[in-house]
A and B are shown apart, each in its own frame.
Chain A
């Protein structure tokens, strides 16, 4: 990407409103505080990458956006998280509705033990879509968007678990896309799959940003540099102490001229 194209993008991106904002967030697992004092805005219809050494709370933070942490007993979130300026932890908010708007892809591909078709149709069916024709259409469109349609269009009745790991991950992406989420959270989606599928997933992410906001946690800094427009670097400096958001900026800035010494050390491979 030439500098020119980039500055053009940069301008456009800066005009985009934030889809998600986080103010003074801290997070506890029981007595252990995992995150402290996080402030960040996630741009709408862009890819934001979370990087940092393992165990620094990237997954934990990601799960704050769809309240998946609610499922882990003893956890506590303080601070403010908004989606389209609405506090998602406000008393009236149903996490079940929220998760429909904010989908999630996990590190381990986790198709349900049912057919490929039923995997993708699962979400729409939950939310009341019954007509076969409509489901067919959703399934096809979602698999297309997930770059998987060509490979599975003749085997839709086969068990999702019979696919390769990379195909399973794309099936999970299709499953999320089928409920038309506004945000897609991806927690190291490519760390357990083959390179061809990684390529396909990176491609589809680029295609999806015309309609949805993506946050991806990745261990792979080249991947962060390739796919994201913004990057947040997290670090837990002292074991047992909470992690902090060290630096958040445009991805090019993070990788070419980081402001914080610790970011520079990390991306140049000095620790982590």
Chain B
């Protein structure tokens, strides 16, 4: 093992500050990226698991739910006319006020500040103990027919059966707490009674909770689209592998009224949308800058201190004829290993934070690209710090050992 690596391992305490600084610099960036990507993935989950092979959006739309949405109802039959198309259905949705229903007496108790902790201590069981909640929610519609184009691929038949009942809704498990409901509870949506008939998994609700309901239920609630425009169209093809060709053909005859996307095309566009937001770019840029600054400052000073602690040993090597460039190489190797340790620590830390966030309904997602980028950045920080601390080697004057 080399001198640098042995020293780092044996005297790890000395280098701890640098490793921790690098770990937090990495976390600062990775946690944000992870959060944005997690949000982005929640958006794309819907697309990734859609049965539609082609989706028809308004001409200027840059993603599902971004830019102008919806198309004229008139184009529905034109899409149908394409020989490869077997199903076409508009996405429909709505949004409104959601309230949980709390039995009157327990509500009073829960609202009483003196006993609030006791009431919450029951953990929000099915029989109450919940506080009254009022949340704004999104509504997304499916046609609860097994295998239908609007039904996500991972919906079970039981889930669809539950949604076929009037006024039945499904919510994701990550939204239960926010909405203050349990499976089987009744609740109010825009003043009308609905029932939590199913709980989904894997559809995290980041900004607002989402209710899934059947098209019929939405109609009964009086909120279905009936006007001249409908939501984006979900199109199922006889042969999914023809998606590219069909999308191109549909686009050729669009006449500026719509734009057809293949599912993969749309998923990619949606994932990237998040990072095109200027504010996110600014935030990330600022974090990178901050991470770089703090990382270098702390790592540099730590390395300096650690080298100074061994300066006599370095001086004795100089006396024995080891050249200055050789000693510099030792320092650079040392800072490289500090960087590697920092990357590992950043990974562990981010993993922990990711678990914690996931458990609290903010799932994070990481891509190899960003992990690679942050690793490279941490390595750059470490090596730059090494460069900066080369100056202290001037203190390794072997003549000082002779006194």
Partners in one complex: no
Report A's interface with B, CB cutoff 8 A: none
